[in-house]
Amino acid sequence: MRKVVKYVIIDILRSKMILGYTLLLFLMSYSVFSLEDNVAKGLLTLLNLELFIIPLVSIIFSTIYIYNSSEFIELLVSQPLKRKSIWLSLFTGLSTSLVVAFLIGCGLPIIFFEPTLTGVIMILTGSLLSVIFVTIALFVSVFMRDKTKGTGMAIFIWLYFAIMFDGFVLFLLFQFSDYPLEKPLMAIGFLNPIDMSRILILLRLDVSALMGYTGAVFRNFFGAPAGISIAMLSLIIWIAAPLYFSLNVFKKKDL
């Protein structure tokens, strides 16, 4: 399996897109920190950019990669390798390269400007978020045979998590404003990894004004330390579940 991972990573690096992504992240975080004289404010700006860009790049890049390497996957399947290890190698290769890109692009500037626990948690969530959207991409591409449909689906999923989800939550809030919605709303928060990451960082930064409704409820319910660990746990489930389902489908898939 280690060898297959090696070839996947070599293949990914060859496309140069990942290098561009690293550079973009680096320029972005470096300029954000240089522009703001208050580091906490810089961190917030960066957070909002991160929550937008990382999922987008992770999901689109991974989906396109899986579709483009269909021949490569076929070649591997015809060798005496377990399908499980092929799929996990693809997952490991993709997430390693995306996480490393994030660590170099955003991690280095954050460590440099904000070497505190907040900075570390921010780096951790960024990495988790990259991996989560890799697994979602795997999930999409294993179900859709057609490349165009699959890529469209990936973009739609990103749109849903990044933008539309908030709209739905607000809609629910207004429709059922006569009822006590705090707890159901908190449960809904678990359904969106981007929301979870935002809450996680904001709990740590303690800027309740920016936490949004879900975040405030979350804080009241769990308190900051327990809230952070529960949010972290939910992110890990967001990695494990799509990976598990896509693996099961891939094992039986007719290539």
Partner 1 sequence: MPQIGRYPDNMTIRQIIKMMKDIRKTENINLDEELIQKFDLPAILDKRMRTLSGGTRQKVSASLAFLFSPDVLILDEPTAGLDPVSSEILKEKIIKEKTSGKLIIITSHVLSELDDLITQIVYMHEGKVKFHKEISALQKETGEEKLSKSIAKIMLQNHS
* Separation CA 123–CA 17 (nearest Å): 21
In the complex, least distance from residue 74 CB atom to partner 1, rounded to whole angstroms: 5
Window of 63-71, 105-113, 141-149, 187-195 that interacts with partner 1 by CB under 8 A: 63-71
Binds partner 1 (CB under 8 A): choice among 16, 38, 71, 209 = 71
Asked if 4 is part of the footprint of partner 1 (rule: CB under 8 A), the reply reads: yes
State in angstroms the smallest separation of the CB of 63 from partner 1. Answer: 17
Cβ–Cβ under 8 Å, residues 35 and 113: no
Nearer to partner 1, 5 or 122 (CB): 5
Picking from 77, 85, 130, 120, the residue whose alpha carbon sits closest to that of residue 247 is 85
State the helix-helix crossing angle for 17-35 and 2-14, rounded to 10 degrees: 70
Question: Is 132 within 8 Å of 235 (Cβ atoms)?
Answer: yes
Please state, in angstroms and as integers, the Cα–Cα distance from residue 7 to each residue in 32, 112, 141, following that order.
35, 33, 20
Task: Determine if 85 is a binding residue for partner 1 (CB under 8 A).
Answer: no
Task: Give me the 10-49 binding string for partner 1, x by CB under 8 A, dash otherwise.
Answer: -x--x-----------------------------------
- Cβ proximity to partner 1, 79 vs 148, nearer residue: 79
Positive/negative CA dihedral, 125, 106, 99, 74: positive
Binding site for partner 1 (CB under 8 A): 3-4, 7, 11, 14, 69-72, 74-76, 78-81
